[in-house]
Chains A and B, each alone.
Chain A
Amino acid sequence: MAALDILRRPFFWVIVTATAAFAIVPVTTGDVELREGLVLAAIYIVLASNLNLMIGYAGYVNFGSIVFFGLGGYIGVYLISSLHWHPLAASVAAGVVVSALAMLLGLGILRLRGPYFALATIGVNEAVQAFVSNFTPWGGASGIYISIDSFRSLGGPGPALWVIYFILVAIMGVSLLLAYGIKISKFGLGLLAIGQNEDAAAVLGVPTPLYKAAIYGISAFLPAMAGCFYFFKSAFIQPVDAFDLGLSVEAIVMIMLGGQGTVSGVALGAFFYEELRGWLLTSESFAHFQLVVSGALLLLIVTFAPSGLMGWIHRRWPATRRLLE
């Protein structure tokens, strides 16, 4: 059966194992600081792998992908703090709403090609940020504070942080599976064709506008859910943090670092990048230089190794192509 085919592929099990490891390791070691670091890594992986659907598969560079994360965060936090929804319900609602908005928006801006599309996505992020900064029901530029009481539905702040962690790891796992599942499906084939040569794909019968809008909407869903949980955990959301364009671009760096279009590469790229940043931040000598290091790293990758880590690995050890897609 086609749907269960995926269970036979080795990479599927690699994803499942990695996700399980993420979930189990902090529990067994009881290392809370590790958990905090892995939470950020999981979020980066969610952002990067969903963005990869646009960049690596369909070939459309979304520079403002953080808008999904931020908007999902705002919708979720608002539902939780003002309307007292349960966090899970709020995050699903956030995912659905943001996806729907993305699809609608996509129908408009996906008509643009190349750098114009990239610019438009920046414009979208900035417009949404500027709007939210003025939108008083959402706290305007000061943002929304979440009371410690809201964590009660998950058992109080201590247990809640664990539950949120597991949920975010699950979202990470689903993102990776989604990316893989799409890649080996007919939909994915169509997307890759669009990425290679959109006009040829259209001529060959790929319904390009529909596919593009669909993937744009899909790429918004999980980041929106992740956004809801991340800001809920932080107990505070404000426009400047929620719509941080720099984070969008870092997601692109992670994709390039790991190898665009590959699922494992992007996950590894995100993971290593997060570890690197975390280390730079707390290291005595480099704290002021993180930007310089990130920038230099990116420049080197783009100039000398544009197919990223995975590209190099696949070339060196062709056997890994099946195992780590």
Chain B
Amino acid sequence: MSGLLASIVDGILVGSVYGMAAMGLTLIWGVMDVINLSHGALIVGGMFALYLIAAALGLSAYAILPSAVVIGFGAGVVLYWLAVHRMIGRAPLMSLLSTFAANLVLIGIGTALWGTVLFNVPVSLPGLRLGGYTFPGTHLMAAALTGFVAVVLYLFMQHTRPGKAIRAVAGNRVAAELVGIPTRRVLASAFGLGAALACVSGALIATMFPFTVLSGDAYQLKSFVVTVLGGLGNPAGALLGGVALGLLEGLVTPFMPVSWTSVIEFVLFIIVLVAFPRGLFNFVFRRS
């Protein structure tokens, strides 16, 4: 097993989780044209939810994940009504600012409660050893769960009534209202769904890496990059974008100092934004 291959595989594993984080962001964006700047806070929320519940109930981390979904959904709906509801249809700057304000408040409360100390959720899962390299069990499990969630999400969006309602509202809000879909409630649940995805991805990240209240920012930035790669409003694209980003990181790191990866990521980000506004994958697969 060569170092390069190990790097690539691990990159893909972790990248898929970034993809799931981005799925939440891109869903909200696609459905209601709102860039959720409290996305990072929701990810951190998932991390803390995992930590606190694991500490309180002593359950295995993976058993707690479903509760992260519920908490995320609830938080999302509340956030929607407080910060987003009135901004729908107004200038995009307004929703950017209101979600950012929500982010400030949440992170502020977080730092007041937990400071900026590092938290760790001890998860021991045997890794996969190949050659001299080990793929941590947590990475493998996280990637597997991400795949599972992605499939569930797809089934939900394609084959259930609420899922179809969300897609209808995303497609044409006025038309959806005309046919009797309760758009406000649908928007709230779509936001809740996006938040739930963010929360679960946060919880999964917490099983792999330690975190602080301030960790959300970095993952939010990564979600932006992934979302742009995958195309706005396209959850499948987001997952692929995450994998692609992970792949890129894996390819690049053996050859240059690790600190250069962010430079490459952000330059790529700008180039893709300018040259492929509909996302790399939309461009490649010619979807509208």
Contact = CB atoms under 8 A, between A and B. Distances in A.
A and B touch in the complex (CB under 8 A): yes
A174 interface: no
B100 A112 contact: no
A123 B223 CA distance: 12
B273 A120 contact: yes
How big is chain B's contact interface, by range?
Answer: 35 or more
A296 B101 contact: yes
B266 A256 contact: no
B273 A109 contact: yes
A134 B267 CA distance: 14
Contact of B274 (A109, A115, A134, A141): A109
Interface string B216-232: 01000100110010000
B270 interface: yes
A303 B257 contact: no
Interface residues of A, number: 43
B212 to A, nearest CB: 14
Interface string B200-240: 00000000000000000100010011001000000000000
Contact of A299 (B35, B98, B266, B267): B98
B274 A108 contact: yes
A292 B263 contact: no
Contacts of B228: 119
Interface in B252-288: 257, 259-260, 262-263, 265-267, 269-270, 273-274, 277
Given A114-B92, A122-B224, A123-B266, A295 B274 contact: no
B266 A288 contact: no
Q: Which of B102, B265, B274, B277 has the most CB of A within 10 A?
A: B274
B122 interface: no
A120 B270 contact: yes
A119 B93 contact: no
B103 interface: yes
Interface stretch (B104-112, B124-132, B179-187): B104-112
Contacts of B217: 245
A290 interface: yes
Given A291-B111, A295-B104, A296-B105, A112 B93 contact: no
A116 B35 CA distance: 10
A127 B262 CA distance: 7
B274 A126 contact: no
A55 interface: yes
B259 A112 contact: no
Contact of B102 (A115, A122, A141, A295): A295
B105 A127 contact: no
Contacts of A123: 224-225, 266, 269-270, 273
Nearest to B34: A115
A109 B270 contact: yes
A116 B33 CA distance: 11
A127 B259 CA distance: 12
Contacts of B104: 291-292, 294-295, 298
B102 to A, nearest CB: 7
A291 B105 contact: yes
A307 to B, nearest CB: 12
| 6 tightest A-B CB contacts, nearest first | A295-B104, A291-B108, A292-B108, A127-B266, A295-B105, A298-B101
Interface of B: 33, 35, 82-83, 86-87, 92-94, 96-98, 100-109, 111-112, 217, 221, 224-225, 228, 257, 259-260, 262-263, 265-267, 269-270, 273-274, 277
Given A120-B273, A303-B86, 14 more contacts: A109-B270, A112-B274, A114-B92, A118-B92, A120-B270, A123-B266, A130-B263, A134-B259, A288-B108, A295-B104, A298-B101, A299-B102, A299-B105, A302-B87
